[in-house]
Amino acid sequence: MSNAAIDTGLRRRFARLPLLQRISLVVIVIYAIVVVFGPLLAPYGETETVGSAYEPSSVDFLLGTDNLGRDMLSRIIYGARNTIGLALAISVLSFVVGVSTGLWAAISGGVVDQLLSRAVDVIIAIPKLIFALLILSIAGTSSISLVLTVALLDAPRMFRVSRAAAGNILVMDFIEVARLRNESRVWILFHDVLPNIASVILTELGLRFSYVFLFISALGFLGLGIQPPSADWGTMVRENAALISFGLMTPIIPAVAIGLLTMSVNFLIDSASDRGSELDD
């Protein structure tokens, strides 16, 4: 297919989306640009103190300055990199871990399935935020421990969804046919199961991404997320929270950035899963 053909194909797909989804897609693309080209777009450095504290918005500082006199706009732009990058890393890790164990449990059945499923029940039974706070206060709050901890807490959800979806496929007759050819489990998973559950688990991945994103923002707000002076939207809300009582909008800005992205991702996933289920019928 030529480039032009791909281009018109995409344009037609875009035009067919409902308005809300079109807006969501545009928002997500803007976020992606900010993440990729952040340092080029930001007027000041991430941790540079450029003015006095709590300056209102002006020509120099479009969104004002924060409690230490750093430029809010630059912090938001750098924060996008940190927060979204971290959320992506966590969702992908939890996706890989959760889906592979989920599929393994589904196709093995018996003891393996029981052990994995009950272990997952235990993890899910403990309130996630408290569990995370506990581990992070012991293990420290480096990016690595943050990624590992949140991914571990999130993987059980992916496990459950992929195990259930795979279970529905594994009872189909074409799986029997494959077993009667003595196909390996890996072959069955990759050829017969995964293609048929792809839409379900990818939808779940998108959904989990927005939850993870909210979760690390919450951790940041509680002081256990990305550590200062690195910019992070959750932490930024907390640092400037006092201003809300003076009627200033500074703390609202990172909060809006968080809300806008999660809503856009959710709207888009929603329509994708609707169409996915239509395809399945």
Q: In 3-state terms, what secondary structure has residue 229?
A: coil
Closest CB to other proteins among 85 and 195? 195
Give, in order, the Cα–Cα distances in Å from 126 to each of 27, 153, 154: 34, 10, 12
Question: Does 118 participate in binding other proteins (rule CB under 8 A)?
Answer: no
169 φ, ψ (degrees, to nearest 5): -80, -35
Nearer to other proteins among residue 1 and residue 130 (C-beta): 1
Contact 199/280 with Cβ under 8 angstroms?
Answer: yes
How many residues make contact with other proteins (CB under 8 A)?
A: 14
By CB under 8 A, tell whether 16 contacts other proteins. Answer: no
Q: Are 94 and 208 in contact (CB under 8 A)?
A: yes
Is 172 a binder of other proteins (CB under 8 A)?
A: yes
Residue 281 Cβ vs other proteins, minimum distance, rounded to whole Å: 10
Choosing from 29, 177, 186, 242, the residue that interacts with other proteins (CB under 8 A) is 177
Among 127, 180, 246, 247, binds other proteins (CB under 8 A): 180
The residue behind tokens 């196909």 is: 183
For residues 278 and 271, give the distance between their C-alpha atoms in angstroms, rounded to a whole number.
11
Judged by CB under 8 A, the residue of 100, 108, 196, 262 near other proteins is 196
Q: Which stretch binds other proteins (CB under 8 A): 25-33, 179-187, 227-235, 270-278?
A: 179-187
Peptide bond into 229 cis (omega under 30): yes
Residues 76-105 that bind other proteins (CB under 8 A): none
Q: Does 176 bind other proteins (CB under 8 A)?
A: yes
Distance from C-alpha of 98 to C-alpha of 103, rounded to nearest angstrom: 9
Over its C-alpha atoms, the chain yields an Rg (Å, rounded) of 22
157, 120 Cβ separation under 8 angstroms: no
Nearest approach in angstroms of CB 157 to other proteins is: 25
- How far, CA to CA in Å, does 60 sit from each of 42, 54, 56? 12, 13, 10
For other proteins, the binding residue among 14, 179, 274, 277 (CB under 8 A) is 179
Q: How far is the CB of 171 from other proteins (least distance, A)?
A: 9
Are 80 and 231 a contacting pair, CB within 8 Å? Answer: no
Contact residue for other proteins among 97, 108, 131, 183 (CB under 8 A): 183
Amino acid at 217: S
User: Which position among 9, 18, 109, 195 is part of the footprint of other proteins (CB under 8 A)?
Assistant: 195
Q: Quote the CA–CA distance of 269 and 262 in Å, as a whole number.
A: 11
Is residue 278 involved in binding other proteins (CB under 8 A)?
A: no
The CB-of-181 to other proteins minimum distance in angstroms stands at: 5
Question: Which positions touch other proteins (CB under 8 A)?
Answer: 172-174, 176-177, 179-183, 191-192, 195-196
